[in-house]
Amino acid sequence: MKVSLHSKITLYPLSIRKDKKHYIVEEPISGDFFELPQIGVDAIKRMEQGEELVSIECALKDMYPGEEVDIVDFVEQLLELGLVQEVDGVLVKKEQSKSTSRSGGFLWIPQSVGRLFFNGVMNKIYLLLLIANIIILILNPEFFPHYKDLFLFDSMVLNILMYLSISLVLILIHEFGHVLAIRSHDLQAKLSIGNRLIFIVFETDLTQAWKLDPKKRNILYLAGISFEQIILFISFGVMLLFPDASIIGILGIIVLDIFIKLIYQCCFYMKTDVYYVVENITGCYNLMENGKIYLNSLFKKRRKDENINKEMFQGEWNLIRLYSVFYIVGVVLTLILAVLYFVPQLYYTYTTIYLNLHGTGDRAAFWDAVAFLVMTMLMFVLLMYVKKNQRHDNS
């Protein structure tokens, strides 16, 4: 749709709220959120008052002499974002939003239930549990997870089924923490299936969290980890009080799973819960994207790229460089986890499978190895299916 300086623009009703550095703009009909600087908000407010684009451009040039102002280009960006309702009286076709619909979003969970788990007192308790779990692990190094904790049975099929079952329950508990946290503010959330590296995971859409101030958003992002601290503390407690209990092996898998996932939270090359907290605290909502740009620039031959980046990042230069360090640390942590856990687990598993297939075990062991390989293939196909759907959704 053609836009000119003399076009008459009608926007959808917008909700604008000041954030740390810029403004969060919400289009209430679709529930979509966008970040805009002060100059963009001033332009929107003038449009809402019915001013012509040509006069808005002149006013903004006077107000922001150091900025390059192109109001037509700005309106075209608003069109792409779906914030423009009409151009010269012609209704703009709006694509259906992917945001949470009002019919879903776990609205059946009362706000009071969410507040029961997430309030000022409980938030402090979750922090104390995290500290307590660290102290317990330091004082009891035998509780530190080992890669062989995964193998409770001689049967690899039973081992993988046990681990997948426990991991699935823990994932649901983690995500349900996010759901209860956002319901404590009477907002919506929805669950979807995604993947992190080679792992299929559930993900909670916390888009509605942008309605809240940054401090409250942090509680939502940390809610899943908070629930995991409860499980971890209970597991450590049982291991301390009943060291000979029959469920010690299962508790070992729980500790292993939560430990690895907690380490992954510190891998900032992925958008983890902790990453979103850091992004939220700093107010730099393109931290990962800008960090990748900076890291790529380090391999440039021309030093003038550094000056270009300083201008591009607009006061976030030191923060971007610090994030890049943590980005690299995250990659190193992943490699350490691979060396300490994943590679030994894979080696032990497939060595056992190989020996069982070649008849070193009994007949039951042979068919267990065959069944395990079939399960592995099915998991691989499911992972490829999830990745394909993600590419389709992003296209």
Angle at the Cα of 37 from the Cα atoms of 35 and 43, rounded to 5 degrees: 105
What are the two backbone dihedrals, phi and then psi, of residue 112, each rounded to the nearest 5 degrees?
Answer: -60, -35
Handedness of CA 175, 178, 183, 184 (dihedral sign): positive
Sheet holding 90-91, edge to edge: 9-11, 84-87, 90-91
pLDDT of 96: 55
The one-letter code for the residue type at 188 is Q
How many whole angstroms separate alpha carbon 374 and alpha carbon 367?
11
Question: Above 50 in pLDDT, residue 368?
Answer: yes
Question: Above 70 in pLDDT, residue 1?
Answer: no
Provide the CB-side half-sphere exposure for 370 (13 A, CA). Answer: 9
Alpha helices in 266-342 (DSSP H): 273-282, 287-297, 304-313, 317-337
0.85 cut: is pTM over it? no
Question: Above 60 in pLDDT, residue 305?
Answer: no
Give which of 93, 100, 81, 71 is closest to 1, Cα–Cα: 93
How many whole angstroms separate alpha carbon 276 and alpha carbon 265?
10
Q: Which span out of 61-70, 99-108, 328-337, 361-370 was modeled with the highest average pLDDT?
A: 328-337
pLDDT band for 375, please (50, 70, 90 cuts): confident
DSSP, res 247: T
How many whole angstroms separate alpha carbon 299 and alpha carbon 315?
22
pLDDT of 100: 44
Distance of CA 89 to the CA centre of its chain: 40
pLDDT of 88: 83
Question: Above 70 in pLDDT, residue 393?
Answer: no
pLDDT of 297: 77
Average pLDDT over all residues of the chain: 85
Question: Above 60 in pLDDT, residue 197?
Answer: no
Report percent pLDDT > 70 for the chain: 88
Question: Above 70 in pLDDT, residue 102?
Answer: no
Question: Above 80 in pLDDT, residue 94?
Answer: no
How many whole angstroms separate alpha carbon 178 and alpha carbon 191?
10
DSSP assignments along 87-135, one per residue: ETTEEPP-PPP-SPPTT-TTTTS-HHHHHHHSSHHHHHHHHHHHHHHHH
Question: Above 80 in pLDDT, residue 299?
Answer: no
Contacts by residues 157-166 (CB-CB < 8 Å, ≥ 24 positions apart)? 157/368, 157/371, 157/372, 157/375, 160/372, 160/375, 162/250, 162/253, 163/253, 163/257, 166/250, 166/253, 166/254, 166/257
Neighbours of 285 (CB within 10 A): 18
Residue 354 tokens, joined: 């190989």
State the average pLDDT over residues 116-137: 96
Buried b / exposed e over 326-350, threshold 16 CB at 10 Å, is bbeebeebbeebeeebbeebeeebe
Is residue 185 within 8 A of residue 244, CB to CB? The reply is: no
State the average pLDDT over residues 73-93: 87
State the average pLDDT over residues 283-309: 70
Lowest mean pLDDT among 18-32, 197-211, 347-361: 197-211
| Element of type H or E holding 190 | strand 190-196
pLDDT band for 138, please (50, 70, 90 cuts): very high
pLDDT of 395: 55
State the average pLDDT over residues 27-32: 77
pLDDT of 153: 92
pLDDT of 26: 86
Give which of 41, 53, 52 is closest to 15, Cα–Cα: 41
Model pLDDT for residues 309-338, shown as the tens digit of each residue: 555 566 677 888 888 899 999 999 999 999
State the average pLDDT over residues 89-114: 73
Neighbouring residues of 53: CB distance < 8 A, sequence distance ≥ 6: 3, 4, 5, 6, 7, 9, 47, 71, 72, 75
State the average pLDDT over residues 198-219: 80
Question: Above 80 in pLDDT, residue 196?
Answer: no
Provide the CB-side half-sphere exposure for 91 (13 A, CA). Answer: 3
What are the two backbone dihedrals, phi and then psi, of residue 9, each rounded to the nearest 5 degrees?
Answer: -110, 130
pLDDT of 394: 58
More confident residue, 193 or 331: 331
Q: How is the chain split into domains, by residue range?
A: 9-91, 111-394
DSSP assignments along 124-163, one per residue: HHHHHHHHHHHHHHHH-GGGS--GGGG--SS-HHHHHHHH
Residue 266 tokens, joined: 């510190």
Is residue 71 within 8 A of residue 53, CB to CB? The reply is: yes
State the average pLDDT over residues 113-119: 95
